[in-house]
Structure 1
């Protein structure tokens, strides 16, 4: 791309220059004829085009790039069906707080000769799914629209944005130049709000820290570690807050993977103050507030301090009394510097719940039945993964087991979606992780239903030369919905299916296939896949028959009895 001032060139060239100025490394997608000018411009750029086998996979990869880096990942599709295939991935990034940009093509908007063939109002369609959507109707306006798109995608709360580039606009001549990003800092929390929070924490008898999705940012992790070390206040995470703090810490009380009634929920209920950091309404609430703040604490919490970039969205179960609004890391630092740990704090009861959870989980982890029992599966995977290894979960009943039982050591080493909770994201998410971190072990963990929704991306993974393990948990059914079906008293109907031979299926793409035949064999296969290069696909039968007994009854009855 030329840097000569005032030199005219195609608008598609300018668009690529603007993307380069934003630091874009990759564009993931499936181009169509409406993208051909942009494709030609990309060929002469520093940006690598990653051709996927479905637009949804491209979108999931772009969102995961944003999740890891904080910079907007970029995906590309044509008009009509190409754009509609991005919808699920855009919603995934938008709800999950993952910065991403989708660029779609369109027929000429000035002199169209094809009627309405393939034409949808994509800009209008993307409106409810994004923070920003815009049709580029002039080459001269590209720099400002691209800069605005990236600004909105990356600022809190991060999310999805969309630009549409019509064919005739892509070929326009323009002498506009990219607009450089401005240096912006998020505002700090007001001193009075910080002081109110400190006073509430010091006055509490048993405060607890809840780490949620919005706290999963680099500097916030550091400040929260320092806060916990200074105060000694125990902490709980939500599913998308996993890994923000090292879960081997003796003050970790568990992950709120169930809706209520788990050991960690009881620990929160025992608190008289919840310090709720990065709360996001897209996640199931880790606790429920009521309008009664006296008497028995079970089922309610007395007071909540909301610490986030934005004010709390009030609903019937969440209406915090104190809000500390501003940069989260800075707010935690201010509170940490000002607070004095109190000798009157008593966390005994909370920690007893955590001990009880360990006592309950350990025998389950040692259950070596075959097909594999979910708690034992989680234990085996944790043993197989290095400290910096990354697991990327698709969506299914196993996600609850991993959220509860898998110990996360570092931020963004457990990628799960507790927002849109879409099936089909596990494999593309792991592919992106493997691209970004080629020296770390990455494992996609998918149910057989979710895996088959984007299994064609195995070809992309092999073509890219990725080192990746894909663990398929096979129960030959949509297991999560079968569990819900049973819970609600319905007959077992309509949710079973057949599967291909996953070992041969993997081989057909040039990947390595493995079939687990026993609990002991699983450990050997996980080790073999981790040591060998390339893409390894593991067919692992699982036994979900006791989900209802353990998750719906045993855990809740044991925790309630304490």
Structure 2
């Protein structure tokens, strides 16, 4: 006989769980006691939301479900945003929540919500454990579903009385499932379409960044010499220093890159994820699209591909590469002009040393300061567009941005998780002042856990993204400005080191010293967003003569 909470921890160990992020409550005490002697490490956070973001990022980077823990009621409701973050972003994550006794209650409805029902629309799987003997199969099924394409969030509720009861079952073996290969006829038809096109163009989306598709896509690009572009969450799959990289679709329209997209007669869309803003719009009688993904396309008004290759992405691309022949009639000359124009546009302000600093300058200096495998995590704000467009990624998952839920508050917890997974890599979190303050208390967690991380706060004392939209729509500025604390003193109060940038020259010096010294560093950097409208809002019709 085994206590149910012990069996639960054994099931997690069986799945290879390394960390549980979270805040236990009294309903989790049996589970907490079972965890005490486990090799699984509990990372106690200061808010359940921070725990959920850390678990989701663990899943994003490893492909294995990250695990987070909360009590019932308010603890569980604080996991709603991380659940949506993981589900929309296709990040495998398991949430474990406690509950009052379900077999004999003496407390009425105090703190009791139907958490399983609440999680129904936010997860791939949500269940309450009603018997300790159900634990092995429930945990195994939850992990299977969390990992299976398309990955996402799962939830198990473990009531207090069930956790304390005896169970006789044993954990189930973990069997890895191979993803199916694509249909041979589908591959041949895709090859035929690509060879017949005049100006084919390769698009790399979020799905291609979830699994190891880098080698297969690089072989395809080298064989065909075909230019490519990415969505925001597809950045880094291929080294973006190569001449065939046209850029990232950071805006939905009206950008230099979109002029190239409009010229394409065929787009090979690899790893399309419907949650990302569409980087192009289809029209009947317009460009054709080949959909290459783990699953068939979700069809809507702007995306209805003419052909699909369904199966393991890397396997699909390799099959296409083996069969395709480069064509003399392919015309990539226009794309090369776009590449040069995009580079000229993006690098224009790299050396502008005005103060407060331009986001373009900050992006450039961070890229110069980090090694090739350094990781940048972003919170959410207008600066995310500048990083998507201007930050060159050399390796997969080295720029972690959220173009799915696009929530604020995830930047710092994501950086902490990344550093736990990759202790030898340099990790920088870039946050707006608004987003940082939504989970700033996790600085204490980072200090306590001895997580080396550098946090750069882009300080404009406002909700800058909404202010930019407000101005762009012709409204007067109203309701979006606030006052910030002294961020240097704030960092020091948690035991971190605080720095204030007072000139362009001081930024790189402070950043490099913080990266080399280790520990938790916070850098308060004033930012100037005044050029957002004049640079981001470039209209296609104004570029025709340039291209």
Q: 2:333 aligns with which of 348, 369, 372?
A: 348
The equivalent residue for 1:418 is: 403
Distance in structure 2 (CA, Å) of the matches to 1:363 and 1:280: 32
Kindly state the Cα deviation for residue 556 of structure 1 after the two structures are TM-superposed.
7.1
Contact 1:30 1:53 in 2 (8 A): yes
Distance in structure 1 (CA, Å) of the matches to 2:187 and 2:165: 53
Distance in structure 2 (CA, Å) of the matches to 1:403 and 1:83: 33
The equivalent residue for 1:4 is: none
Confirm whether residue 386 of structure 1 aligns to residue 379 of structure 2. no
Kindly state the Cα deviation for residue 471 of structure 1 after the two structures are TM-superposed.
0.4
Confirm whether residue 544 of structure 1 aligns to residue 529 of structure 2. yes
SS at match of 2:428: strand
Confirm whether residue 273 of structure 1 aligns to residue 258 of structure 2. no
The equivalent residue for 1:240 is: 233
The equivalent residue for 2:222 is: 229
Confirm whether residue 199 of structure 1 aligns to residue 184 of structure 2. no
Distance in structure 1 (CA, Å) of the matches to 2:164 and 2:352: 64
Q: 2:513 aligns with which of 528, 547, 561?
A: 528
SS at match of 2:336: helix
Bigger drift between 142-151 and 268-277 goes to: 268-277
Kindly state the Cα deviation for residue 559 of structure 1 after the two structures are TM-superposed.
6.0
Residue by residue, what CA displacement relative to the aligned partner does 1:401-451 show, whole Å, maximum 9, x if unpaired?
000000000001000000000000000000001111111100000000000
Confirm whether residue 83 of structure 1 aligns to residue 68 of structure 2. no
Kindly state the Cα deviation for residue 46 of structure 1 after the two structures are TM-superposed.
1.1
Confirm whether residue 475 of structure 1 aligns to residue 438 of structure 2. no
Kindly state the Cα deviation for residue 380 of structure 1 after the two structures are TM-superposed.
0.8
The equivalent residue for 2:16 is: 23
Distance in structure 2 (CA, Å) of the matches to 1:71 and 1:559: 46
Confirm whether residue 512 of structure 1 aligns to residue 497 of structure 2. yes
Confirm whether residue 54 of structure 1 aligns to residue 54 of structure 2. no
The equivalent residue for 1:157 is: 150
The equivalent residue for 1:3 is: none
Confirm whether residue 133 of structure 1 aligns to residue 126 of structure 2. yes
Q: 2:117 aligns with which of 121, 124, 143?
A: 124
Confirm whether residue 558 of structure 1 aligns to residue 517 of structure 2. no
Confirm whether residue 9 of structure 1 aligns to residue 5 of structure 2. no
Residue by residue, what CA displacement relative to the aligned partner does 1:36-79 show, whole Å, maximum 9, x if unpaired?
00000000211100000000000000000001100000000000
Q: Structure 1: which 5+ runs fail to align? A: 1-7, 294-301
Distance in structure 2 (CA, Å) of the matches to 1:532 and 1:152: 41
Distance in structure 2 (CA, Å) of the matches to 1:390 and 1:467: 12
Contact 1:189 1:326 in 2 (8 A): yes
Residue by residue, what CA displacement relative to the aligned partner does 1:258-277 show, whole Å, maximum 9, x if unpaired?
11121211111111110000
- CA RMSD for the aligned pairs? 1.0
Kindly state the Cα deviation for residue 292 of structure 1 after the two structures are TM-superposed.
3.0
Kindly state the Cα deviation for residue 488 of structure 1 after the two structures are TM-superposed.
1.1
Contact 1:268 1:350 in 2 (8 A): no
Distance in structure 1 (CA, Å) of the matches to 2:313 and 2:449: 37
Kindly state the Cα deviation for residue 217 of structure 1 after the two structures are TM-superposed.
3.2
SS at match of 1:98: coil
Distance in structure 1 (CA, Å) of the matches to 2:499 and 2:463: 22
Distance in structure 2 (CA, Å) of the matches to 1:388 and 1:199: 37
Confirm whether residue 439 of structure 1 aligns to residue 424 of structure 2. yes
Residue by residue, what CA displacement relative to the aligned partner does 1:335-388 show, whole Å, maximum 9, x if unpaired?
111111112111010110110111222222121111001111111111111111
Distance in structure 1 (CA, Å) of the matches to 2:53 and 2:544: 37
Q: 1:367 aligns with which of 352, 358, 362?
A: 352
The equivalent residue for 1:261 is: 254
Residue by residue, what CA displacement relative to the aligned partner does 1:320-347 show, whole Å, maximum 9, x if unpaired?
0000011111111111111111121110
Aligned residue runs from structure 1 range 203-222, under 5 A: 203-222=196-215
Confirm whether residue 250 of structure 1 aligns to residue 221 of structure 2. no
Distance in structure 2 (CA, Å) of the matches to 1:336 and 1:52: 47
Q: 1:291 aligns with which of 284, 287, 305?
A: 284
Kindly state the Cα deviation for residue 117 of structure 1 after the two structures are TM-superposed.
0.2
Q: 1:430 aligns with which of 394, 415, 421?
A: 415
Distance 1:276 1:555, change over 3 A: same
Contact 1:246 1:410 in 2 (8 A): yes
The equivalent residue for 2:434 is: 449
Distance 1:269 1:554, change over 3 A: closer
Contact 1:93 1:100 in 2 (8 A): yes
Kindly state the Cα deviation for residue 554 of structure 1 after the two structures are TM-superposed.
6.6
Number of residue equivalences: 547
Distance in structure 1 (CA, Å) of the matches to 2:451 and 2:349: 34
The equivalent residue for 2:305 is: 320
Confirm whether residue 64 of structure 1 aligns to residue 57 of structure 2. yes
Distance in structure 2 (CA, Å) of the matches to 1:265 and 1:554: 10
The equivalent residue for 2:172 is: 179
SS at match of 1:216: helix
Kindly state the Cα deviation for residue 557 of structure 1 after the two structures are TM-superposed.
2.9
TM-score normalised over the length of structure 1: 0.96
Contact 1:263 1:559 in 2 (8 A): no
Contact 1:107 1:119 in 2 (8 A): yes
Residue by residue, what CA displacement relative to the aligned partner does 1:532-558 show, whole Å, maximum 9, x if unpaired?
110110000000011011111378733
SS at match of 1:219: coil
Distance in structure 1 (CA, Å) of the matches to 2:478 and 2:196: 54
Distance in structure 2 (CA, Å) of the matches to 1:554 and 1:397: 19
Distance in structure 2 (CA, Å) of the matches to 1:21 and 1:359: 52
Kindly state the Cα deviation for residue 526 of structure 1 after the two structures are TM-superposed.
1.1
Q: Structure 2: which 5+ runs fail to align? A: none
Distance in structure 1 (CA, Å) of the matches to 2:89 and 2:544: 30
Contact 2:297 2:305 in 1 (8 A): yes
Kindly state the Cα deviation for residue 476 of structure 1 after the two structures are TM-superposed.
0.1
Contact 2:57 2:414 in 1 (8 A): yes
